[in-house]
Amino acid sequence: MTTPLLFRYEGEGEFKPASEYWGRRADLAYVVGEVYKLAPHEDRSQASHNHEFAVIADMWASLPERFKLEPWAQTPEHLRKYALIMCRYCDTQTFACGSQAEALRWAANLRPMDEYSVVAVEGTTVHRFIAQSQSKRSMGAKRFQESKTAILEYIEDLIGLDRGASAKSEAA
């Protein structure tokens, strides 16, 4: 089972399915008499998700002219994924090569595979950084909020905004 079931706390340590529908789902998922661990599941706010994308689009539109030709500054999505990588919300692949020329060839071949990835050559080693997905399936509420805060602060620093300026727009 991958989707959490909805239960209501009745007091005195007792939980019951929130409706008949959830009761039927529980009957399919659980065995009577078995012991299960219970943990709260916090849904991610759609408003927070939408806020992140709107703020990034606004900040992208405010990028200083000196950044306009950077690969990560082409669209708000490029900027978001670049910020995820720079804040270490990414997966890394490392390729050891026999020479620097080989490493440069590898890098040239890796770059077009994902327009949002960052590929760096360090001597004879190639590193490819791929932004992690912020989808609800990939990140729970806590990790999403951590990544959102980190990347918004990173972009604020990048373009010279006061820290927390984007958070203030969420409260407004």
DSSP code at position 43? P
Q: Tell me: pLDDT of 94 over 60.
A: yes
Report the C-alpha dihedral over residues 72, 75, 80, 81, rounded to 10 degrees.
-50
Residues with Cβ within 8 Å of residue 95, at least 6 apart in sequence: 103, 106, 110, 125, 126, 127, 128
Residue 162: C-alpha distances to residues 84, 165, 166, 168 (Å): 20, 6, 9, 10
d(CA 8, CA 10): 6
pLDDT digits (tens, 9 = 90+) for 143-169: 999 999 999 999 999 988 877 766 655
> Which pLDDT tens digit goes with each residue over 59-69?
999 899 999 99
Kindly report the pTM of this predicted structure. 0.71
pLDDT top residue among 42 and 85: 85
Task: Kindly tell me the number of DSSP H helices and DSSP E strands found in the chain.
Answer: 6, 5
